[in-house]
Structure 1
Amino acid sequence: MAKGWVKDLYGKRLKELLERGEYWEIKKLMGPTGPHAIVEGKEVIMFATNNYLNLANDQRLKQAAVEAIEKYGWGPGAVWAIAGFHEILSELEKKIAEFKRTEAGIFFPTGYATNVGTIPTLVETGDLILSDQLNHGSIIDGIRLSRAEKIVYNHCDVADLEDKLRKAHGKYNKILIITDGVFSMDGDIAPLKDISKLAEEYNAIVYVDDAHGEGVLGEGRGTPAHFGVDDKIDIHMGTFSKALGSSGGMVGSDREIIEYVRNTARSWLLSTGPSPGAIAANLKALEIVMSQEGKERVRRLHENANYFRKELQSIGFNTGKSETPMIPVIIGDTKKARELAKALFDDGIFVVPIVYPMVPRGTERTRNEVSAGHTREDLDKTLAAYEKWGKKLGII
């Protein structure tokens, strides 16, 4: 048991979180996740996962995982750097390079571990990181672990980025520009074509976290492919935990860079890897996304997202700058965002309220993540519930 004063201290802090409405009420899944799921014993239409291509419960991924466990066992035994890794990981890393259209690839146990491990290996004292204002928390933590100086540029503001590049030019050993490809709270897209042009002009390195772009944009290849700048991005970071329906993170780049990361990233060197089953499922997911079937799933995904976004707007909701299947309903009030999410859940629709500190105060919202597996009936039922509760709660 903790000392009494320690328990009291954190009990008080927990109470403050509850009073501010910033406590996460995490619900229990009671089966696989998909367009429909059983949550807390209730059947719901699922809008709270990043399972964009409906692969998380795909039979082929499950079968690949089972076969790998039968062949390689369940656990890796130790960190890869010490005990070695199963040959299937080499296959996955070759497929990552093919997917990212780079010379080489590396797999990390999680997307978070990818950013907090890779970013500090690329920069050091005397370097500068220019980071988008709305970059993901894992990027922010990776920057904090580095010894580089950091400057934040206004969200997707190319003019502000250029101004900061101009002022920094010649003052640092190297400059690293980091941006999400698709931003996880607003669903808008980084202007990678303009960013890559500026990077060439100022001889800066570009690092793109494409966790929410892979399987969504560029016929599934991601945000750099969407803009046709694959070859202009120095570091392609991504994750298997969103559209690819599995878990783990990845980086694609030149062979020398990948091997340097492998030998210096602490979150790779000091982390025991996942089960061989997860690695096999990731390999199968990439095969599907890179196939013609994958392109068709992407097409259905955008058809669903465009319909859902347009109808939400016609009802009177504010969907912000979303251009992707990540669609916020911006409410601007913590209490009403939570009330709306609860009312929708009671009606069989699972969405997540997103409040401060995840988003700035005044932009509280529900976050809706559309899937290729949602039917028009699913979308229409959800839209009807949004309209009903939006009016009852005085949001629209």
Structure 2
Amino acid sequence: MARIKHNNFLDTVNEVITDAAHQGILHLYAEGENFNGRTIGVGGQALYHFGTTGYLGLEQDARLKEAAVGAIQKYGTQFPLSKSYISHPLYNALEDRIGQMYGQTIIITKNSTLGHLGAIPSAVDDRDAVILDHQVHWSVQNACKLLRNRSIPVDMVRHNHLDMLEDKIKYHSRKRNRIWYMADGIYSMYGDSAPLHQLMALSEKYSQLHFYIDDVHGMSWAGRHGTGFVMDQLKELPGNMLLFGTLSKTFGASGAVLVCPDKKMHHRIKTFGGPLTFSAQLEPASVAAASASADIHLSPEIYCLQNELKERTQYFNGLLSRTDLPLVDRNDSPVFYIGTGMPKTGYNFVNRLMAEGFYVNLGLFPAVPVKNTGVRITISRHNQKEEIAALVEAMAHYYPKALEETGTDLGRVRHAFAMAVPKTRPKVVHGDLDILLENSITKVDKKIWNNLMGAQGAMDWDGLLFLENSFQGNELKEHNWEFRYLIIMDCNGKPILATFMTAGLWMDDMLAKETISKTLEKARKYDSYHLTSRTLSIGSLFTEGNHLYLDRKHPLGDRALNILMWTLETLGHKMGAKMTVLRDFGPDEEMGGFFKDQGFVRIQMPDSCVVDLTDHMDVQTYIARLSVRNRRHFRKEIQAFEPEFQVDILNTCPKEQLPQLIELYRNVHRNNLGLNTFSFPERVFKNMSDNPHWEFIVLRLKSGPPKPIGAMFCYKNQGKTYVPAFVGLDYTYVTSHYTYRQLLYQTIKRAISLGFSHIDFGLTASFEKRKLGAVVSERYAFVQASDNYVLELLGTM
């Protein structure tokens, strides 16, 4: 394979969000001339509102409204001046009230995102280290990116994985002063919580451990004076913790609050906290509303409100327990998550609920892994018991219908969320389809396979037999792959779909930027398998091209594709795969849409390069067909240097020369961190030398040392396609003698002399290959990971 086109991560997110918007799930506009919190107007309907984060309903409290209106009448719509110079007249009272709630020194911020940007770079010293829970809120992760400019290590652990956290603490404790662990009190998607008491025990064991906790979703509905879930659990704020709460969401106003028991650090952050210094302060209406809410929080009324909400959440929990709905985490928070697995199932389910009169949120990538799409339901004091019961009834009724209509089942969803799977799952009825799934190409009819896949790169029957012989029984685990071959036919024996799959160890940074791979390769000098995962892929790391045969016109084509998805999912579970990859596909919107609905995200691959030789032309005619500009390049950079090279075509490589060719290949592999993979074992190249379908194009300088300086490893498939699968180079001569371009030209000459109709130049260096007449086309991979941990970890590098 070749270098990835590192499209911006936002491009992938944009595709997912755009799809959801087209489904009528996101980017909606609320309708109506007033709100009461209980219903929300969407698409001409008044829907019961189960998507708010104002859990106590204080945003509709008359006292907050009156305070906000009064502040505007007295002070205007804003106070346009930095708080560093002078604070609004109402600020002092608000800070005093919030301070009373926590019994600690506090800082009011414009919102939590700006608050994190101000607090984190100020609190974290250059001698510190940061460890993130991989599900900590994006705003915290984003603020930590600023620390990289100061060479502060920012590490990450899997969600609530305390053993992993302790390992990281031990690692950083040798070199770092304080070690900050950053997490959420209540997590915004699943409603689960940080294991606070275990974390406190860990801090007693490691005095360097400090905590930065974002508890905005735990605010108001829990804790003394509504100070949040963290304070409710710990009762007192530890001296080694910075706590973030919110004045928006449940608090009913705007802004956020940082609670800082360390007075020296409080002064440091407040004195110069980036956005705290340079951003505008809260508007008078927001300050007044927050003060009115603080008065409620400081009164016994807050406990009445909390109890009213608790009664509703317990009622909802009780109703859910009587259903088969897959509640991902059962807890006491007002946040609930019903898993749907695939995005298209989530779209279907949400649209059904909205049509029935209920507004709920859809949890989507990147907030959750793509295959962990689900419905997030929030309970508030606005919700009445009768509509809560009606929602559960509607969900229990429509959830099975959404599963059935989108071709999935409850067991598949529960598997995606690592939940207990029912012992009896619905059988997949294939009906009039004949399915062949084998673990060796020797068990597949050679003629049938070659008729379907024989013209594709090194994927004919003999090419795959070569792969099996090369990537099984090796010493190192990364050099051993499991193979599966799938053919789906109709009852008349007509093939509809065919592909092969491999499972093996991949580097997690294979699709990451080169700079990230360079960093990880340093760590792999001490741990060869650092950040590697077992991956199931259509095709293999050795092959390039169209790995999937599909008769798109066949009336059972969609069913065959669904069976492929079920097969990949089943094999992935059995083989312990953490990631599934589909590659290399063109810009087919219909196929891309299908894969995205199945829980895959699209990533752009390098362009595919193919040369068409069907006219049976000679070399001179081929070159004459190049553009004027490309012919000029050819004469200057290729033809002029050709006399300096000795070109050998080796069907069998002499034993003394094979190590030299292997080293040339390894030069290229080491230089290609843009697509980081394990190198191939020597056995692969020995098998090439012994296999009649492989040959080597070798370049030597006539006037230089006798050793080769370039090699092309080429496969001759039965479909008359010539496949220069891999290249080896001595980089000393690449610039001075245009060695790589010479190899491309000699490959074309060789294919023409053999009478081949196509050259599959694969995925790389499209600029160079285009100049020699290759047709270039876009290629994409579709990736599905078991979770977002690796993606977010790589994002911290």
Fold match by TM threshold 0.5? yes
CA contact (8 A) 1:181 1:189 kept: yes
Q: Distance in 2 between matches of 1:50 and 1:196?
A: 28
Q: Does 1:386 align with 2:395?
A: yes
1:198 to 202, 221, 238: 202
Q: Distance in 1 between matches of 2:14 and 2:83?
A: 41
Shift of 1:361: 2.1
Q: Does 1:244 align with 2:246?
A: no
Paired residue total = 386
CA contact (8 A) 1:304 1:376 kept: yes
Q: Distance in 2 between matches of 1:17 and 1:158?
A: 32
Shift of 1:167: 2.4
Q: Distance in 2 between matches of 1:273 and 1:253?
A: 20
1:216 to 221, 244, 253: 221
CA contact (8 A) 2:101 2:297 kept: no
Shift of 1:33: 5.6
2:217 match: secondary structure? coil
Shift of 1:276: 0.6
1:296 is matched by which residue type in structure 2?
C
* Paired position in structure 2 for 1:287: 295
From the superposition, tell whether residues 22 and 161 of structure 1 become closer, same or farther in structure 2 (CA, over 3 Å).
Answer: farther
1:319 is matched by which residue type in structure 2?
L
From the superposition, tell whether residues 117 and 19 of structure 1 become closer, same or farther in structure 2 (CA, over 3 Å).
Answer: closer
Q: Which has the higher contact order (CA 8 A, sep 6+)?
A: 1
Shift of 1:18: 6.1
Q: 1:230-282: per-residue Cα shift (whole Å, max 9, x none)?
A: 23152111111221122211101133322211222111112112311101111
CA contact (8 A) 1:178 1:208 kept: yes
1:275 is matched by which residue type in structure 2?
E
1:365 match: secondary structure? strand
Q: Does 1:54 align with 2:61?
A: no
Q: Distance in 1 between matches of 2:14 and 2:202?
A: 47
1:316 match: secondary structure? coil
Shift of 1:67: 1.6
1:80 match: secondary structure? coil
1:216 is matched by which residue type in structure 2?
W
CA contact (8 A) 1:126 1:149 kept: no
Query: What TM-score results when the alignment is normalised by the length of structure 2?
Result: 0.46
* Paired position in structure 1 for 2:136: 135
Q: Distance in 1 between matches of 2:234 and 2:14?
A: 49
1:178 to 156, 175, 182: 182
Q: Distance in 1 between matches of 2:341 and 2:222?
A: 29
* Paired position in structure 1 for 2:652: none
Shift of 1:194: 1.8
Q: Does 1:159 align with 2:146?
A: no
From the superposition, tell whether residues 124 and 20 of structure 1 become closer, same or farther in structure 2 (CA, over 3 Å).
Answer: farther
Q: Distance in 2 between matches of 1:22 and 1:168?
A: 43
Shift of 1:58: 0.9
1:53 match: secondary structure? coil
CA contact (8 A) 1:196 1:229 kept: no
Shift of 1:17: 4.1
2:66 is matched by which residue type in structure 1?
Q
Q: Write the mapping of 1:294-309 to structure 2, written as runs, cut at 5 A.
A: 294-309=302-317
Further displaced range: 306-315 or 135-144: 306-315
Q: Distance in 2 between matches of 1:19 and 1:78?
A: 38
2:173 to 169, 172, 175: 169
CA contact (8 A) 1:224 1:230 kept: no
* Paired position in structure 2 for 1:4: none
Q: Distance in 1 between matches of 2:13 and 2:199?
A: 41
Shift of 1:163: 2.4
Q: 1:134-177: per-residue Cα shift (whole Å, max 9, x none)?
A: 10000100111223211112212223222221222131122111
From the superposition, tell whether residues 131 and 230 of structure 1 become closer, same or farther in structure 2 (CA, over 3 Å).
Answer: farther
Shift of 1:366: 0.7
Stretches of structure 1 that go unaligned for 5 or more consecutive residues are: 1-8
Q: Does 1:375 align with 2:378?
A: no
Q: Does 1:75 align with 2:78?
A: yes
Q: 1:36-80: per-residue Cα shift (whole Å, max 9, x none)?
A: 222344211111110100111111100111122222222112222
Query: What TM-score results when the alignment is normalised by the length of structure 1?
Result: 0.91
From the superposition, tell whether residues 322 and 22 of structure 1 become closer, same or farther in structure 2 (CA, over 3 Å).
Answer: farther
Q: CA RMSD in A?
A: 2.4
Further displaced range: 41-50 or 134-143: 41-50
* Paired position in structure 2 for 1:3: none
1:43 match: secondary structure? strand
Shift of 1:322: 3.9
Give the strand-richer structure, 1 or 2: 2
Q: 1:306-348: per-residue Cα shift (whole Å, max 9, x none)?
A: 2213322422111112411100111111011111111111111
* Paired position in structure 2 for 1:187: 191
CA contact (8 A) 1:113 1:249 kept: no
Q: Distance in 2 between matches of 1:114 and 1:372?
A: 28
CA contact (8 A) 2:339 2:374 kept: yes
2:176 is matched by which residue type in structure 1?
Y
Q: Does 1:317 align with 2:288?
A: no
Q: 1:216-241: per-residue Cα shift (whole Å, max 9, x none)?
A: 22253212222225231521111112
Q: Percent identity?
A: 25
Further displaced range: 360-369 or 160-169: 160-169
Q: Distance in 1 between matches of 2:310 and 2:376?
A: 17
1:127 is matched by which residue type in structure 2?
D
Q: Does 1:207 align with 2:216?
A: no
From the superposition, tell whether residues 330 and 109 of structure 1 become closer, same or farther in structure 2 (CA, over 3 Å).
Answer: same
